[in-house]
Structure 1
Amino acid sequence: MKLSFATPRLFLTLGLVFLGACTKTPEWTLFYYNDVSALPVAPLQTEDIHGYYDTLEQCQRKAQGMQRLRQGDDMGAGVYQCGHLCGLDDKSVLVCKSLSQ
């Protein structure tokens, strides 16, 4: 059986589609503050980032799990916020389109 010229092109196209699907960037960033009981007023800092997630629910679940692990500590459970579409602006300040808890 002889393969036509279109078959390799089809495999190449399908491979590129699947490769593109694997490189989707997570939209949510978890900011977690260990030793505080209220969200800080200071601007967002990269050292407070504790992961990147595809959905708000994934970000919240991870943060709530971190709080459960810290509940036995004397310092408290910590607080968190999840930032949507975060990045550096033209002045290298970390900004997010929105923040949720």
Structure 2
Amino acid sequence: MKLSFAIPRLFFMLGLLFLSACTKTPEWTLFYYPDVSALPAVPLQAEDIHGYYDTLEQCQSKALGMQRLRQGDYMGAGAYQCGHLCGLDDKSVLVCKRLSQ
């Protein structure tokens, strides 16, 4: 009788394990500045975030696509940077471990 309770519990635990393995946090954050031709000197701002990506290549690809869409615009294509492992520091300032283009 104890075995009949152990099998459903085992399947439940395996299900939770598989579900938790499917939730991966993206490591790259796209900062896109549509109205400038060079990267701004101001610190990173949350309103400049335009998505989260698993790889640097995905982040760059999205940014280049956004620039292509804006190339016909009179303001220019904009500028971007991809931040690796971004978050808020103890002073609530947005920081990234690394920035790349």
Same fold (TM over 0.5): yes
Q: Which residue of the partner structure matches residue 35 of structure 1?
A: 35
Please state how far the C-alpha of 1:13 moved relative to its aligned partner. Answer: 2.1
Q: 1:4: how far off? A: 4.1
1:36 alignment partner, SS class = coil
**Cα distance in structure 2, aligned partners of 1:61 and 1:18:** 30
Unpaired segments ≥5 residues, structure 1: none
Cα separation, 2, equivalents of 1:14 and 1:59: 33
Does 1:89 find its partner at 2:86?
Answer: no
Aligned residue identity for 1:34 = P
Structure 2 unaligned residues grouped into runs of 5+: none
- The DSSP-based 3-state class of the residue aligned with 1:19 is helix
Structure 1: which amino acid aligns with 2:15?
A: G
| Distance across 1 between alignment mates of 2:21 and 2:77 | 36
Please tell me the residue identity of whatever aligns with 1:37: S
Q: What's the counterpart of residue 15 of structure 1?
A: 15
TM-score, scaled to structure 1 = 0.91
Aligned letter for 1:49?
I
TM-score, normalised with respect to structure 2: 0.91
Moved over 6 A (4+): none
- Deviation (angstroms), 1:98: 0.3
Q: 1:12: Cα distance to partner? A: 1.4
